[in-house]
């Protein structure tokens, strides 16, 4: 996901490497986008963020799962997916 407001082209790399948000934490219409996909289409998460850099990989994965799994479940409930 992404924060509010546009990012200047000079800030693209910084945002991509250090400022991405987990699904539902930002302002992108991710629920609507997921609703357009068939339920059996694989999706993946790539959300590097400097606020998690100090955590070991297992803790980063746990944090991503705590936010992402409920978001995806809620999207599928609302859109009628699995």
Please say if the pLDDT value at position 77 is more than 80. Answer: no
- Say what the pLDDT of residue 78 is: 60
Please say if the pLDDT value at position 37 is more than 90. Answer: no
Q: Measured between alpha carbons, how far is residue 28 from residues 33, 54, 82 in Å?
A: 9, 26, 22
Give the three-class secondary structure for 1: coil
- Residue 15: which of 53, 49, 45, 46 has the closest Cα? 49
| Confidence band for 8, pLDDT divided at 50, 70 and 90 | very high
Please say if the pLDDT value at position 81 is more than 80. Answer: no
**What mean pLDDT value characterizes the chain?**
88
Mean pLDDT across the stretch 56-61?
Answer: 95
Give the three-class secondary structure for 33: helix
The backbone torsions φ and ψ at residue 19, rounded to the nearest 5 degrees and listed phi first, read -130, 15
């Amino acid at each position: 996901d992404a924060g509010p407001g546009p990012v200047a082209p000079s800030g693209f790399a910084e945002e991509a490497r250090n400022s991405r948000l987990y699904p539902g934490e930002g302002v992108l219409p991710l629920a609507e986008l997921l609703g357009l996909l068939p339920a059996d289409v694989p999706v993946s998460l790539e959300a590097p963020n400097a606020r998690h850099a100090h955590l070991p990989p297992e803790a980063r994965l746990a944090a991503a799962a705590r936010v992402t799994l409920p978001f995806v479940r809620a999207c599928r409930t609302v859109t009628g997916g699995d």
